[in-house]
Amino acid sequence: MADRTQEPKCHHYVHRAYLEGFLDPDLERIREPFLWMYMGNKFPFRQRPERVAKRNYYYCYRDGEKKSFEAEHNLQKLEDLALPTLRQLRERHFALKDEDRLTFAGYIALAHTRVPTFERRINHLTELLSAKQVEFAASNTRFLESAAKEIRKTTGEEISAEEFQKRLTGGSVMVSQTNRGWSLREMFRTLLGLQTHIFRMHWTFLLTPPDVQGFLTSDNPVCPV
């Protein structure tokens, strides 16, 4: 567990080295490393990659009385492992050893799971599942009796199974997933599952002709189709 004062505040949810592949070449030639940002209802504007796709303490979570930076440290390790392959591909050297291909497959998977879009999606699915479990519990007599008994035992509140059922079905129970540590663990767990599938896929590399400006990317650079 590291001291918070020694940890970086800004956490990028899109790898900075990846964003550097989208710099404006005309500006690069005059040593102005900018990329162009496009946002809804705004004119495009220039921005440095270190100021793009970041949130304060995004990969931190509360672990007891302290903030854990373990997820951020693990992300940095994975980025460092994949960086040589990213640079190799950027130089248009596409022949990869199996070890490098597997590492980069993990990097691609991580680009999908590390972003806020994935977090919102996985939290929403979890909330739906939990709501279904509450719905099932509300119709299970044995569960209701056991839960009411446990409430009486731990809180001293006199409550019957019927009264507990009314609480579950009365519209006052809200199901939400707010455990940031759980979300980060799901990020890495899903990454490992996707890595193998991506490794086995046929990879196609797209190149821009000299007269084309390049590609667009987004704050969710890898999306399932």
The predicted-structure confidence for 52-90, as pLDDT tens digits, reads as follows 999 999 999 888 788 899 999 999 999 999 999 999 999
Closest CA to 77 of 1, 15, 31, 154: 15
**pLDDT by residue (tens digit) across 11-44?**
999 999 999 989 888 888 888 899 999 988 889 9
CA-closest candidate to residue 183, choices 68, 40, 92: 68
If we measure between CA atoms, which residue out of 56, 75, 81 comes closest to residue 184? 75
Q: At what angle do helices 141-155 and 161-169 cross, to 10 degrees?
A: 100
10-12 vs 45-47, strand pairing mode:
unpaired
pLDDT at 5: 56
Q: Which of 62-71, 89-98, 141-150, 204-213 has the lowest mean pLDDT?
A: 141-150
- Which residue reads 């490794």 in tokens? 199
73-87, 115-129, 138-152, 205-219: range with highest mean pLDDT:
73-87
120-128's contacts with Cβ under 8 Å and 24+ in sequence apart are 122/183, 122/186, 122/190, 123/176, 123/177, 123/183, 126/177, 127/175, 127/176, 127/177
Q: Is the pLDDT score of 3 beyond 70? A: no
* Average pLDDT over every residue of 140-148: 77
Q: Return the higher-pLDDT residue of 94 and 154.
A: 94
Average pLDDT, the chain: 86
pLDDT of residue 6: 78
Q: Is the dihedral of CA 149, 150, 153, 156 positive or negative?
A: negative
| Rounded alpha-carbon distances, angstroms, from residue 11 to 54, 107, 157, 185 | 5, 17, 45, 17
% pLDDT > 70, the chain: 90
What global pTM score does this model have? 0.78
